[in-house]
């Protein structure tokens, strides 16, 4: 028996812990991830605390100093209402950083659920769901979003919260198909594994297998998909507000500001340039973040 | 780490084709330096066949890769030298290296299916070698390619040139790969696990080819394998590798009959020899684990797992020639070489005999059929199979891949729904789908899967996995559940602290133990074991087989034991069923199936196993042709296309009857039992190899 006892001896310590430490170390050494995370964190900080940092409030009107160029007092100049562009640019992160992450969470939730069901049941269920997803996927995102948001506009008039909710839901739903596809592919390969067979063999129900058995093992693609969708959501939310279907004036939202102030671009380019740069930096930051996470997790 | 150079014994002819001296290879993984090959020296003479044996992770493939200068980007050669035909392989230029690969040495990889480009015709791929190295025109190169295929005994070489790899069988693909490797007339041919993953009969076909080529070509061969039997059959000299070092080398026959290193002895003791039975002798696993790469190694690397180890072994490592016998050209890296032969006796610990009582059937399968539909194609994966498993009996199920063994098992568990026939369990009809079976039957029929890496949910701890199974199958909760989990862990010899661990932290053997414990959570009466040990290293395989035998004997449980390894099946089973192309070909007692009269297919399968038994070489029966497609099975007897005992038209036209030999032994063939028995006894007495 001594042999078997020896045979059952401890395996050397933890591959899993090593792997986790390694992932963190790699992330902290990836310039892509670090730059992306830096930019995103900067904007999150600004969305929360910009009013404590800037001299002026984003909504403070000063009728005597409209369209002033860059100066020591107004680093980024002022707009046609005499509002400080720096304060507005920094505060403009707020609306987009509420809408985009929530929309990303929604599309992960819907897409994840659909992907799990579709990939787990296979057969006709899969076929029907995925064809429906294909239809949704073929819609041009912006056009579809405009249609839905305007359809709801009469109900949400006067309530910025409700309006934002509609935008979040619409973006979330429109981003569901690509997420559903990715998750489905991961589920399909996972469900054939023997531990799933073993679960079926002890009479586990389908929801349990999907949520408790499969879901924890497809977290990597879910995380990657989430960060990728975040970048797209920022972009889409800004586009919608640029077109006038998002938050309404006097919000310092970037898309909205660019849209409204482009009429004065020839005399006061700074009113458009700085919000545009801010928007671009957040989109780039989110994409860099996504790229870094994807590279490290897919190793 | 001792870096003393190993003294070299010159063996064979004077100028070695390959000479490796103190080679060190290190891999960098997750920023850590992992020494994989740690000072290996070996020489291969002209025309010599050298075998390198060892378990996975011992560095044998890395050695071959370093030799070909094919190391991946994270691998580097740290020291030592490689000389091929006197040329320093570590100093050659890139240009020269391209010339050398192919013309001076060539490699055949494990999986022929991935070694060939699926988008190119076979002819174009072989011709490429001649065009690249010989500078021949397209037409000339194709002509040479045809000759190359002829040389590897490919049937109809001209037609094969125009085929794509997927149109060839596994054995034929490997022939093509070998033909390509030989195309540049290399001085050294490196074969890395050339038959692993191929079916037994295909393996035998490839080995026959290599054995035959060995006589005809003047290349030296380096054969890498984990299979001692295979190396014994093919090689004149053998080196045994462990943890990046050669621990013993010498002439194959001498080394394997009289091992001088405890590791070699350990390897020999943990594989069942063909003909060994569980009630005669137990397998002796090698305790412990291969040292983790990069961990500090002091003293003899094998000492933590060695039953002969003393303080000397733990303090300093012996040289490879610590024990040597110049006359027999033998060396061993061990302080206690003279005690190794004594390990044998201590090993004969017996596994308890199984008490098979054949009163009534635990499981009765009748006329079972399963059809898979792929578009319009119908693939009959199991066709009209009837068999019974008695309570407390181990039924071994053997056959080549695609024979339907796993599908049959799937139907019994209910994971697959059969299309035809019925399965009765404990006297009652079993519902077809696992979802309709109810907890009592789920508890009673459980399964142990093949792949230790996917059998456990990587996100769950071992304890949680067992706990859930105990809860679902045993209906226990709270303290009773915890007690039962601990009891199960004890029975499969997993330490309680490992119940906290997730599968990624457990070794392959431990994972399989947990999987076995999971199957036994609700005290089943029938356990289906689908190749439970074949993905594990031999030293671990032995302990898993012992555990399965012990659990079965203690509880009177029935097993359906699926394996492609005939020696393992014979060792463990009470009765054996042989499947070929979705049909049952033969069924009978474990010994009866392996003695005449036996189905010609079983006869061929049996002859295909490479053996370490030098005293009784087995006669080889080559199977002709490839396994026919399941979507268009041959008429009459399904085996007639490959049968060496085919009678004639009757085999093609009529389905063979069951020939009853008595005592539950029956086979499906047109040749009557006494006639077949005479034929087979005569053949065995005739030409032994």
Q: What does the pLDDT look like over B253-290, one tens digit per residue?
A: 888 888 999 999 888 888 887 777 877 777 888 887 77
Q: What is the pLDDT of residue B587?
A: 94
- For B401, counting Cβ atoms within 10 Å of its Cβ (0-12 exposed, 13-18 middle, 19+ buried), the class is middle
Rounded to the nearest 10°, the torsion over CA B635, B636, B640, B646 is: -150
Q: How many inter-chain contacts (A to B, CB under 8 Å) are there? A: 112
Out of B287, B457, B472, name the one closest to residue A203 (CB). Answer: B472
For the cut 60, the answer to whether the pLDDT of residue B1 exceeds it is no
Distance from CA of A24 to the nearest CA of B (A): 12
Cα–Cα distances (Å) from B367 to A76, A202, B382, B408, B674, in that order, read: 85, 26, 9, 11, 28
Q: What is the pLDDT of residue B9?
A: 41
- For B633, counting Cβ atoms within 10 Å of its Cβ (0-12 exposed, 13-18 middle, 19+ buried), the class is middle
Overall average pLDDT of the B32-42 stretch: 88
Q: What is the pLDDT of residue A299?
A: 67
Tell me which chain A residues have a C-beta less than 8 angstroms from the C-beta of B289: 9, 11-12
Residue in chain A closest to B518 (alpha carbons) equals A198
CA quadruple B98, B102, B106, B107: dihedral positive or negative?
Answer: positive
Q: What is the pLDDT of residue A15?
A: 60
Inter-chain touch A16–B502, beta carbons under 8 Å: yes
Residue A203 lies in a domain: yes
Residue B18 · residue B220 · CB < 8 Å:
yes
User: What does DSSP assign to residue B628?
Assistant: P
Interface ipTM = 0.82
CA distance B65 to B512: 31
Inter-chain touch A195–B457, beta carbons under 8 Å: yes
Residue A101 lies in a domain: yes
Residue in chain A closest to B520 (alpha carbons) equals A202
Residue A67 lies in a domain: no
Q: What is the pLDDT of residue B3?
A: 40
Overall average pLDDT of the A229-245 stretch: 91
For the cut 80, the answer to whether the pLDDT of residue B197 exceeds it is no
Residue in chain B closest to A211 (alpha carbons) equals B459
Q: What is the pLDDT of residue B631?
A: 80
Distance from CA of A9 to the nearest CA of B (A): 6
Overall average pLDDT of the B61-75 stretch: 88
- The end-to-end CA distance of chain B, in Å, is 46
Q: What is the pLDDT of residue B292?
A: 73
What is the domain partition of chain B in residue ranges? 21-257, 363-398+417-554, 595-686
CATH 3.30.200.20 fits B21-257, yes or no: no
For the cut 70, the answer to whether the pLDDT of residue B5 exceeds it is no
CA distance B660 to B657: 9
Inter-chain touch B497–A10, beta carbons under 8 Å: yes
Between helices A160-174 and A141-156, what is the axis angle to 10°?
150
Residue B214 · residue B221 · CB < 8 Å:
yes
- The end-to-end CA distance of chain A, in Å, is 41
CA distance A179 to B682: 68
Tell me which chain A residues have a C-beta less than 8 angstroms from the C-beta of B547: 4
For the cut 50, the answer to whether the pLDDT of residue B10 exceeds it is no
Give ∠ CA A82-A83-A85 in degrees, rounded to 5.
Answer: 120
Inter-chain touch A16–B472, beta carbons under 8 Å: no
Task: Give the mean pLDDT of chain A.
Answer: 89
Task: Give the mean pLDDT of chain B.
Answer: 85
Residue A245 lies in a domain: yes
Q: What is the pLDDT of residue A14?
A: 56
For the cut 50, the answer to whether the pLDDT of residue B192 exceeds it is yes
Out of A2, A9, A11, name the one closest to residue B505 (CB). Answer: A11
| B-interface mutation test, from A15, A25, A28, A194, most B Cβ less than 10 A away | A194
Q: What is the pLDDT of residue B515?
A: 95
CA distance B200 to B642: 14
Where residue A169 sits, what CATH number does that domain have? 1.10.3720.10
Q: Sheet containing B32-44: give its strands across.
A: B32-44, B18-29, B75-84, B87-88
Overall average pLDDT of the B375-379 stretch: 81
Q: What is the pLDDT of residue A21?
A: 82
Overall average pLDDT of the B138-143 stretch: 90
When comparing pLDDT for B619 and B421, which is higher?
Answer: B421
Q: With cut-offs at 50, 70 and 90, classify the pLDDT of residue B616.
A: low
Rounded to the nearest 10°, the torsion over CA A54, A55, A56, A58 is: 0
Q: What is the pLDDT of residue B217?
A: 82
Q: What are residue B609's phi and psi, to 5 degrees?
A: -75, 125
Residue A195 lies in a domain: yes
User: What does DSSP assign to residue B668?
Assistant: E
Q: What is the pLDDT of residue A245?
A: 85
Q: Which tens digits make up the pLDDT trace of B526-543?
A: 999 998 988 888 888 888
| Total structural domains within chain A | 1
Residue A262 lies in a domain: no
Sorted by sequence, the CB contacts under 8 Å of residue A56 that are 6+ apart come out as: A74, A83, A84, A86, A87
* Token code pair at residue A276: 């545009």
Distance from CA of A250 to the nearest CA of B (A): 49
Q: What are residue B595's phi and psi, to 5 degrees?
A: -125, 150
Element (H, E) at B665: strand B665-668
Q: Sheet containing B330-332: give its strands across.
A: B105-108, B188-192, B220-225, B49-53, B237-242, B245-251, B330-332, B323-325
Distance from CA of A147 to the nearest CA of B (A): 41
Out of A8, A12, A217, name the one closest to residue B495 (CB). Answer: A8
CA distance B239 to B236: 10
Helix extents (H) in B59-111: 60-67, 94-103
Inter-chain touch B457–A216, beta carbons under 8 Å: yes
Q: Number of helices (H) and strands (E), helices first, in chain A? A: 14, 0
CATH number corresponding to B363-398+417-554: 3.40.50.300
Residue in chain A closest to B513 (alpha carbons) equals A8
CA distance B351 to B359: 24
Percent of chain A, pLDDT > 90? 63
Cα–Cα distances (Å) from A242 to A43, A76, A154, B37, B205, in that order, read: 19, 21, 19, 63, 71
Helix extents (H) in B184-226: 200-216
CA distance A272 to A276: 6
Residue in chain B closest to A5 (alpha carbons) equals B493
For the cut 70, the answer to whether the pLDDT of residue B355 exceeds it is no
For the cut 60, the answer to whether the pLDDT of residue B158 exceeds it is yes
In the three-class reduction of DSSP (H, G, I as helix; E, B as strand; rest coil), residue B603 is classed as: helix
Q: What is the pLDDT of residue B683?
A: 81
Which range of residues forms the domain containing residue A229? 93-251
Tell me which chain A residues have a C-beta less than 8 angstroms from the C-beta of B454: 193-195
Q: Which of A154-163, A220-229, A238-247, B487-496 has the lowest mean pLDDT?
A: A154-163
Length of chain A: 299
- The distance between the two most distant Cα atoms of chain B, rounded to a whole number of Å, is 79
Overall average pLDDT of the B304-325 stretch: 87
Q: Which tens digits make up the pLDDT trace of A110-152?
A: 999 999 999 999 889 999 999 999 999 998 888 988 898 888 8
Distance from CA of A155 to the nearest CA of B (A): 45
Inter-chain touch B507–A14, beta carbons under 8 Å: no
Residue A114 lies in a domain: yes
Distance from CA of A179 to the nearest CA of B (A): 22
Taking phi over 0 as left and psi of -120 to 50 as alpha, with beta for the rest, B478 belongs to: left
In the three-class reduction of DSSP (H, G, I as helix; E, B as strand; rest coil), residue B590 is classed as: helix
Q: Examine domains B21-257 and B363-398+417-554 and report if their fold is the same.
A: yes
Taking phi over 0 as left and psi of -120 to 50 as alpha, with beta for the rest, A111 belongs to: alpha
CA distance A108 to A115: 10
Pairing of strands B245-251, B330-332: antiparallel
Q: What is the pLDDT of residue A257?
A: 93
Residue in chain A closest to B494 (alpha carbons) equals A8
Out of A10, A13, A203, name the one closest to residue B439 (CB). Answer: A203
Out of A3, A9, A195, name the one closest to residue B285 (CB). Answer: A3
For the cut 50, the answer to whether the pLDDT of residue B12 exceeds it is no
Q: What is the pLDDT of residue B361?
A: 59
Q: With cut-offs at 50, 70 and 90, classify the pLDDT of residue A284.
A: very high
CA distance B57 to B303: 17
Q: With cut-offs at 50, 70 and 90, classify the pLDDT of residue B374.
A: confident
Q: Number of helices (H) and strands (E), helices first, in chain B? A: 24, 24
Tell me which chain B residues have a C-beta less than 8 angstroms from the C-beta of A193: 454
User: What does DSSP assign to residue B249?
Assistant: E
Pairing of strands B245-251, B237-242: antiparallel
């Amino acid at each position: 028996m001594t042999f078997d006892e020896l045979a059952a001896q401890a395996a050397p310590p933890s591959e899993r812990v090593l792997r986790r430490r390694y992932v963190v170390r790699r992330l902290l050494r990836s310039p892509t991830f670090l730059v992306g995370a830096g930019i995103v964190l900067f904007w999150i900080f600004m969305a929360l605390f910009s009013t404590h940092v800037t001299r002026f409030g984003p909504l403070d009107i000063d009728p005597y100093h409209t369209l002033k160029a860059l100066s020591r007092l107004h680093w980024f100049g002022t707009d046609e209402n005499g509002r400080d562009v720096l304060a507005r640019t920094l505060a403009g992160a707020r609306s987009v950083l509420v809408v985009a992450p929530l929309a990303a969470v929604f599309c992960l939730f819907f897409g994840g659920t659909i992907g799990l069901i579709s990939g787990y049941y296979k057969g006709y269920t899969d076929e029907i769901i995925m064809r429906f997803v294909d239809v949704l996927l073929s819609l041009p995102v912006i056009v579809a979003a405009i249609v839905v948001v305007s359809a709801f506009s009469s109900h949400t008039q006067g309530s910025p919260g409700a309006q934002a909710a509609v935008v979040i839901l619409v973006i979330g739903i429109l981003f569901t198909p690509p997420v559903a596809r990715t998750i489905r592919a991961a589920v399909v390969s996972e469900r054939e594994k023997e531990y799933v067979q073993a679960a079926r063999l002890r009479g586990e129900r389908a929801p349990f297998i999907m949520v408790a058995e499969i879901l924890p093992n497809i977290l990597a693609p879910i995380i990657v998909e989430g960060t990728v969708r975040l970048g797209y959501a920022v972009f889409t939310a800004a586009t919608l507000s640029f077109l006038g279907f998002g938050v309404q004036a006097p919000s310092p939202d970037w898309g909205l500001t660019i849209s409204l102030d482009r009429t004065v671009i020839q005399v006061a380019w700074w009113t458009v340039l700085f919000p545009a740069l801010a928007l671009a930096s957040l989109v780039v930051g989110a994409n860099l973040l996504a790229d870094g996470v994807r590279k490290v997790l897919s190793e | 780490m001792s870096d003393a150079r190993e003294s070299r014994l010159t063996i064979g002819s004077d100028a070695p084709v390959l000479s490796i001296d103190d080679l060190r290879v290190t891999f960098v993984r997750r920023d850590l330096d992992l020494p994989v090959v740690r000072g290996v020296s070996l020489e291969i003479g002209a025309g010599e066949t050298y075998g390198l044996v060892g378990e996975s992770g011992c560095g044998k493939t890395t050695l071959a890769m370093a030799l070909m200068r094919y190391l991946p980007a994270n691998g580097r050669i740290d020291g030592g030298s490689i000389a091929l035909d006197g040329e320093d392989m570590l100093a050659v230029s890139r240009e020269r290296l391209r010339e050398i690969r192919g013309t001076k040495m060539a490699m055949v990889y494990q999986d022929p299916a991935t070694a060939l480009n699926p988008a190119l015709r076979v002819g174009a791929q072989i011709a490429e070698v001649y065009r690249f190295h010989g500078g021949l025109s397209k037409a000339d190169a194709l002509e040479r390619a045809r000759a190359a295929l002829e040389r590897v005994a490919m049937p109809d070489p001209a037609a094969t040139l125009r085929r794509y790899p997927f149109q060839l069988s596994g054995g034929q693909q490997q022939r093509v790969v070998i033909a390509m490797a030989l195309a540049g007339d290399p001085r050294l041919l490196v074969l890395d696990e050339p038959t692993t993953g191929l079916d037994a009969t295909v393996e035998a076909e490839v080995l026959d080819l290599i054995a035959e080529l060995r006589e005809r070509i003047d290349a030296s061969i380096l054969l890498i394998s984990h299979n001692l039997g295979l190396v014994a059959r093919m090689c004149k000299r053998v080196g045994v590798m462990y943890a990046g070092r050669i621990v013993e080398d010498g002439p194959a026959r001498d080394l394997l009959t009289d091992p001088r290193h405890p590791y070699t002895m350990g390897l020999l003791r943990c594989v069942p020899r063909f003909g060994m039975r569980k009630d005669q002798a137990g397998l002796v696993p090698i305790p412990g684990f291969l040292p983790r790469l990069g961990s500090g190694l002091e003293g003899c690397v094998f000492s933590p797992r060695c039953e002969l180890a003393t303080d000397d072994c733990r303090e300093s490592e012996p040289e490879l020639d610590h024990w040597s016998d110049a006359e027999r050209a033998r060396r061993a890296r061990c302080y206690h070489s003279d005690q190794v032969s004594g390990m044998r006796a201590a090993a004969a610990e017996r596994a308890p005999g199984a008490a098979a009582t054949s009163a009534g059937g635990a499981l009765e399968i009748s006329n079972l059929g399963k059809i898979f539909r792929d578009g319009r194609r119908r693939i009959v994966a199991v066709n009209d199979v009837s068999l019974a498993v008695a309570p407390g009996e181990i039924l071994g199920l053997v056959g080549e891949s695609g024979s339907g063994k796993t599908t049959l098992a799937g139907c019994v568990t209910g994971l697959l729904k059969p299309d035809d026939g019925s399965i009765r369990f404990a006297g009652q009809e079993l519902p077809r789908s696992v979802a309709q079976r109810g907890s009592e039957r789920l508890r009673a029929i459980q399964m142990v899967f093949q792949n230790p890496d996917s059998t456990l949910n990587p996100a769950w701890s071992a304890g949680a996995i067992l706990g859930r199974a105990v809860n679902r199958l045993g209906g226990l909760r709270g303290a009773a559940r915890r007690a039962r989990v601990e009891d199960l862990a004890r029975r499969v010899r997993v330490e309680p602290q490992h119940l906290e661990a997730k599968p990624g932290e457990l070794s392959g053997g431990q994972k399989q133990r947990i999987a076995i414990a999971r199957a036994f959570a609700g005290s089943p009466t029938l356990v289906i074991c689908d190749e439970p040990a074949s993905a594990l290293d031999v030293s671990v395989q032995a302990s898993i087989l012992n555990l399965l035998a012990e659990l079965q004997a203690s509880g009177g449980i029935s097993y359906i034991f699926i394996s492609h390894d005939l020696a393992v099946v014979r060792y463990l089973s009470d009765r054996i069923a042989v499947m070929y192309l979705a049909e049952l070909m033969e069924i009978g007692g474990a010994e009866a199936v392996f003695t005449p009269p036996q189905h010609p297919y079983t006869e061929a399968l049996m002859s295909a196993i490479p053996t370490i038994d030098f005293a009784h070489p087995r006669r080889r029966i080559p199977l002709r042709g490839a396994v026919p497609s399941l979507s268009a099975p041959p008429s009459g007897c399904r085996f007639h296309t490959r049968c060496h005992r085919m009678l004639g038209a009757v085999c093609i036209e009529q389905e063979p009857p069951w020939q009853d030999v008595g005592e539950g032994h029956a086979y499906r063939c047109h040749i009557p039992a006494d006639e077949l028995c005479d034929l087979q006894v005569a053949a065995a007495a005739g030409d032994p190899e």
